[in-house]
Amino acid sequence: MVALIRHRTDAFFTGLGRFGLLLGSAFSGTPHLRLYYRNLTEQFVRVGIDSLPIVALASAFTGAVAAVQSIYQLEGSFYLPKTAVGSFVTTSVILELGALIAAFILAGRVGARIAAELGTMRVTEQIDALEAMGLNSASYLVLPRILAGVLMFPLIYVVACTVGIGMGIVVGETTGVIPLATFIDGARLLFRPYDLFFGVVKSLAFGFAITSVSCYYGYYTSGGAEGVGRSTTQATVMSCVFVLLADYVLAVIML
Amino acid sequence: MIEIQNLSKGFDGRSVLEDVSLEIRDGETFAVIGRSGSGKSVLLKHIIGLLTPDAGRVLIDGTDLHALSYGELRKIRRQFGVLFQGGALFDSMSALENVAFPLRTFTRQSEAEIMDRAHWCLSVVKLPDAGSKKPSELSGGQQKRVALARAVALEPRYILYDEPTSGLDPQTSATINDLIVHLAETLHATSIVITHDMNSVLAIADRAGFIHERRLHWTGTMEDLRCCADEATLAFVKASEYVI
């Protein structure tokens, strides 16, 4: 038992060290601008633009469900005003749901893709080929993916919030329970610009967590196709874990 | 010149190479032979600094590769072209882009010059029309030839080949062997070929080294190999489907 704990502890700190080394190497490289520009724009599209439809879809349903549940609770209460629906939907989407739902989708979609892509490159010696050419493979492969995640996630978050709140309004209107003006009054009542700032900071942290963790698992893949599968699963699971951890830590620090 | 001095390497407590010493002279083609899993590829990865030895040194023109900083090591690596066992082509790029990649990365040539050079490299490996194809659309032999074109695009001083003919039919293997000889002559490069294909060794190598039971068991010229009396080396050579 003691040996197992010692082994796990060693593995944890070894992993942490390798994660630090990978990030250090990625951020210390001298960029070959022509190559990096192309790679970076490609990652912006793959991480950001290509993720928008699925994030918008998930956010739409999240906003709609939040509105339906709020209306349900409103109907069971004599004390809550109708404006509470707008307040509840807007606040919950901006403070939590917008960023968190988008993060989980990105962990599955982007995190898995990054880990599978880098993992396959590792087991087919493509990463060795980059290194053998004299290129800093971490800087070439990892840096653009992390930058794309960090810079595109706030945009994804804003889209998620807009669509989520928009669907809340649509549900309020179509059910005839909460008119648009009432919803907006409610939304304004509890809205604080700081909440939006908090959401953007969270989305930056989530973008970094998902892409860096996925790059780590993909970059250090070993063991052929089975290894790629293992890395992909680990990347997705650990991305979600780090997102939840970052969510809690940021809430404690910033709220 | 490449010098390997008393190199030892193990993985997870299992020794793969022990006390290997070897000199590879400028301009020669040196074949490293041995059974599968004998540590040939591990030796090659030490020569390019992709692995760090547990003991011993690898010297490139007198410079200890593993005493260098990562930046200095990358500069030295630019003198090498490596053909990996599976080709290691970047599968997101076409064949032409693969060959152009090192040129775009390490030269200041214009796009037109890069394309000219990449097309020329593809024609050298006899694949002038394969430029637009993705690696997945190429056969194993074609992938290796594109990878070879990429490896020599920057006219390296040293070309390393990891199992260049493994998995290929005899005719394609012969084409690859011809290319290895042709490139060594035209580029005046030092070539190191990791292989267990004795036909290939006899066709291309000036000297060979046999790795057996973790050690460099035998080295010599092709003439030495033909009259070799060492039991283990002979057993390996005779087990190959070739005719001396």
Flag if B74 and A134 touch (Cβ within 8 Å).
yes
pLDDT at residue number A253: 93
pLDDT at residue number A255: 82
Distance from CA of A35 to the nearest CA of B (A): 7
Average pLDDT, chain B: 91
Do residues B192 and B32 touch, judged by C-beta distance below 8 A? yes
pLDDT at residue number A37: 81
Q: Give the span between the Cα atoms of A243 and A236, in whole angstroms.
A: 11
Tell me: pLDDT of A77 over 80: no
Q: Give the span between the Cα atoms of B124 and B182, in whole angstroms.
A: 9
Flag if A135 and B84 touch (Cβ within 8 Å).
no
Q: Give the span between the Cα atoms of A57 and A81, in whole angstroms.
A: 29
% of residues, chain A, pLDDT over 70: 98
pLDDT at residue number B28: 94
Which one has a higher pLDDT value, A230 or B175? Answer: A230
Taking Cα atoms as reference points, which of A142, A145, A156 lies closest to residue A49? Answer: A156
pLDDT at residue number B226: 84
Q: Give the span between the Cα atoms of A13 and A10, in whole angstroms.
A: 5
- Tell me the residue range of the domain where A58 lies: 2-254
> Any idea which of A23-37, B39-53, B166-180, B181-195 has the lowest mean pLDDT?
A23-37
User: What pLDDT, in 10s, does the model give residues A168-200?
Assistant: 999 999 988 889 999 999 989 888 999 999 999
Tell me: pLDDT of B13 over 60: yes
Mean pLDDT of B178-192: 90
Do residues A139 and A145 touch, judged by C-beta distance below 8 A? no
pLDDT at residue number B219: 93
User: Is any Cβ of chain A less than 8 angstroms from the Cβ of B74?
Assistant: yes
Flag if A32 and B88 touch (Cβ within 8 Å).
no
Tell me: pLDDT of A76 over 80: no
Average pLDDT, chain A: 91
Distance from CA of B218 to the nearest CA of A (A): 28
Among chain B residues, the shortest Cα distance to A42 is held by B92
- SS3 label, residue B105: helix
User: Which residues does chain A have within 8 Å of residue B76's beta carbon, measured at their own beta carbons?
Assistant: 134
User: What pLDDT, in 10s, does the model give residues A26-35?
Assistant: 888 666 666 7
Q: Pull the structure tokens for residue A199.
A: 């959401």
pLDDT at residue number B49: 93
Flag if A125 and B88 touch (Cβ within 8 Å).
yes
DSSP B8: E
User: Is any Cβ of chain A less than 8 angstroms from the Cβ of B109?
Assistant: no
User: What pLDDT, in 10s, does the model give residues B14-42?
Assistant: 999 999 999 999 999 999 999 888 899 99
Flag if A125 and B85 touch (Cβ within 8 Å).
yes
Mean pLDDT of A118-138: 94
Question: Would you mind telling me the total number of residues written for chain A in this entry?
Answer: 255
Confidence of residue B95 (pLDDT cuts 50, 70, 90): very high
**Which of B75, B90, B104 is nearest residue A134 as measured by Cβ atoms?**
B75
Mean pLDDT of A42-54: 92
User: Is any Cβ of chain A less than 8 angstroms from the Cβ of B185?
Assistant: no
pLDDT at residue number A32: 67
Flag if A128 and B70 touch (Cβ within 8 Å).
no
Report the number of distinct structural domains present in chain A.
1
Mean pLDDT of B128-148: 92
Task: Kindly report the number of other CB atoms within 10 A of residue B21's CB atom.
Answer: 14
Residue spans of the domains in chain B: they are 89-155
Tell me: pLDDT of B122 over 90: yes
pLDDT at residue number A145: 94
pLDDT at residue number B241: 61
Residues near A136 by beta carbon (within 8 Å), at least 6 away in sequence: A25, A28, A29, A30, B70, B74
User: Is any Cβ of chain A less than 8 angstroms from the Cβ of B84?
Assistant: yes
Q: Give the span between the Cα atoms of B18 and B161, in whole angstroms.
A: 22
Do residues B48 and A132 touch, judged by C-beta distance below 8 A? yes
Mean pLDDT of B220-224: 90
Mean pLDDT of B103-130: 92
Q: How many CB pairs under 8 A join A and B?
A: 55
Tokens 């109907």 belong to: A75
Flag if A131 and B106 touch (Cβ within 8 Å).
no
pLDDT at residue number A75: 81
